[in-house]
Each structure stands twice: as C-alpha cells, then as structure tokens.
Amino acid sequence: MDNNYNNDQQNVTPDYNQAPQAPVDPYNGSAPTPDGPKGKAIASMVCGICAVVLGCCLSAWLGLILGVIAIALGALVMKNNEAGRGMAIAGLVCGIVGAVLGIAGVIITLIFGEAIKDVLKEINGALFIIK
C-alpha cells in the first residue's frame, strides 16, 4: 500500500501577491460570478428614500426632483438588467411615492399658500409678542 496521498501538496508554496480566489460552488463546480457595480441601483434607492422624506416633511420641490431622479435610475437599472435589481425596485417604489408626495405638496402650497402664510404670521405673533 502506498502512503503518497499528500505528494501533490509537498512543493506548494502560497503566493501572497495574488488576489484571493472565490470559493468553488460544490453544486455546479464553478466559481460564483461577481455581481458587478451597483452604483445606479444604490443611487436610485438613496434618492427615493430622500424623496419620500423631503416630499412629505421638508420641501415638496426637492422631493419631486429626487423622486424623478430615483425613478429614472431605477428604470435604467431594470431595463439594462444590471446588478442590484432589488435596490432598483426599492428606488422605483420610493421614487414614485416621493414624487407623488412632492406633487401633492406643490399643489397644496400653490392653492393654500397665502392662507398658510397668514396662519403662520398669526401663530408667530401669538408666540412672540413683537411690535
């Protein structure tokens, strides 16, 4: 009986200058493919989240603009079948919600702008007695 089961490992020295290799998938025998850059998908998601926050709370115009950007980037990722499909879908949904909130905020501001301004002046006058 031959005890040479480790002969193929005797003269192997690790090469520390190489990048680490991806692990081999035991089910199909190949290394997993990298997903690639997800920059547009991440930008779509971030713009969509900011659009929702700004559209409902702070600035309707910024929410509308960021919502449109999120929709465009998310649709571009989905159309080209790029990496980050889940983040692109989240960006699309948040972008649509943010754009709708932005449009509603702009319409409310245009319709009730003067009335809101008068109410705020009365509240300011009641809180801070300034003559």
Reported pTM: 0.63
Q: Is residue 10 part of a domain?
A: no
12 φ, ψ (degrees, to nearest 5): -95, 120
What is the chain's alpha carbon radius of gyration, rounded to the nearest angstrom?
Answer: 28
* Domain assignment present for 2: no
Two tokens at 83?
A: 């990496």
Query: Residue 16 pLDDT more than 80?
Result: no
Specify the number of domains making up the chain.
Answer: 1
Instruction: Assess if residue 31 is contained within a domain.
Output: no
**Residue 13: inside a domain:** no
Give me 29's structure tokens: 């025998």
Domain of 42, in residue numbers: 38-127
Q: Is residue 4 part of a domain?
A: no
Residue 72 lies in a domain: yes
Residue 114 included in any domain = yes
Question: Is 108 part of any domain?
Answer: yes
Query: Looking at residue 22, what is its pLDDT?
Result: 65
Q: What is the pLDDT of residues 72-100, one digit of tens each?
A: 999 999 999 888 999 999 999 999 999 99
